[in-house]
Amino acid sequence: MEDPSSPTTITLRPFRTTDVDDFISWVGDDRVTRWIRWSTITSKEEVLTFIKEVCIPHPWRRSICVDDRSIGFISVFPGSGDDRCKADIGYGLAVKYWGQGITTRAVKMALSQVFKDFPGIIRLQAFTDVENKASQRVLEKAGFVKEGHLRKYTYIKGDLKDLFVYSFLSTDTVPHPLDP
């Protein structure tokens, strides 16, 4: 029998066109898209196009999965030219799975993979809305260092936002996914 106290097993894998129905259950939810640049998408056709044209060709976008079914995403977008030393990380999770440590585990899993997949990347950076406490906590638990407060830094969905910037270097120690 499964131990009810044991954490849900999660995996990270590339998106597939067959993820449409699972994908729409979270990308169609304003509570998930509120803090990210993605629009809320509620049409199956638009989700399919988004998976095909944006998610699959993305340099490193993974579906966070339970039982191989998509419950969220984690993306790493590498810079180029003089910014080739760094990449931006972002994520989102279906509301029903919030508060179980799943995104923190997914971020830790991504950390151990992306520095292998992109040996030129020395710095992973994340930007969070100053009001997005859950995302800040995820980054802290995953070992990111908070570097600063960027005042009136960018527009997100029409609102001018203050952001915090965090970083994790390839020389930092990646915490074990199941460590608190």
Ligand X SMILES: CC(C)(COP(=O)(O)OP(=O)(O)OC[C@H]1O[C@@H](n2cnc3c(N)ncnc32)[C@H](O)[C@@H]1OP(=O)(O)O)[C@@H](O)C(=O)NCCC(=O)NCCS
The single residue among 20, 24, 27, 32 that binds ligand X, judged by CB under 6 A, is 32
Question: How many angstroms separate the Cα of 8 from the Cα of each of 93, 112, 175?
Answer: 14, 20, 18
The answer to whether the beta carbons of residues 32 and 95 sit under 8 Å apart is yes
Q: Which of residues 35-74 bind ligand X (CB under 6 A)?
A: 35-36
Q: Please report whether residue 144 would count as binding ligand X according to CB under 6 A.
A: no
Please choose, out of 5-13, 17-25, 29-37, 78-86, the segment that lies near ligand X by the rule CB under 6 A. 29-37
Question: Among residues 120 and 148, whose Cβ is nearest to ligand X?
Answer: 148
Residue 99's SS3 state is coil
Sole binder of ligand X in the list 47, 65, 76, 101 (CB under 6 A): 101
Among 93, 111, 114, 124, the residue binding ligand X under the rule CB under 6 A is 93
How many positions of this chain bind ligand X (CB under 6 A)? 21
Of the CA atoms within 13 Å of residue 32, those in its CB half-sphere come to 26
How many angstroms separate the CA atoms of 20 and 129, rounded? Answer: 28
CA of residue 101 relative to chain centroid, distance: 13
- Applying CB under 6 A, does 103 fall inside the site for ligand X? yes
Minimum distance between the CB of residue 170 and ligand X, rounded to whole angstroms? 21
Which of 70, 104, 109, 164 is the binder for ligand X (CB under 6 A)?
104
Residue 99: Cβ-neighbour burial (10 angstroms; 0-12, 13-18, 19+): exposed
Interface ranges with ligand X (CB under 6 A):
32, 35-36, 90-93, 98-104, 128, 132-135, 137-138
